[in-house]
Amino acid sequence: MREAEVAIFVTRRGRSEVLIAHRSPSQGSYWHTIAGGIEVDETPHEAAVRELAEETGLTGVELHAGGAVVEYATR
């Protein structure tokens, strides 16, 4: 497990539409945001750019930090 992850919310049309991905047919075909782990020596912004490209093929997208950072821990 990685120590930190990013979640990317791609919006358009005044934030009235949000991109989500249909994931993993072998695990029940759930819907999820674009997300992934932050690699060693990678900033959260760099991880977001990389994950977005890896999971969707979108490149050259202008990314902005959200209004809040949410941290949580599971036991």
pLDDT tens, position by position, 13-67: 888 898 888 888 787 888 988 999 999 999 888 999 999 999 999 998 888 776 6
Tell me which amino acid residue 16 is: S
* Per-residue pLDDT at 69: 64
Specify the pTM: 0.73
Could you tell me the end-to-end alpha-carbon distance of the chain, in angstroms, rounded to an integer?
A: 13
**CA 35 – CA 37 distance, rounded (Å):** 7
Q: Which one-letter DSSP state was computed for residue 3?
A: S
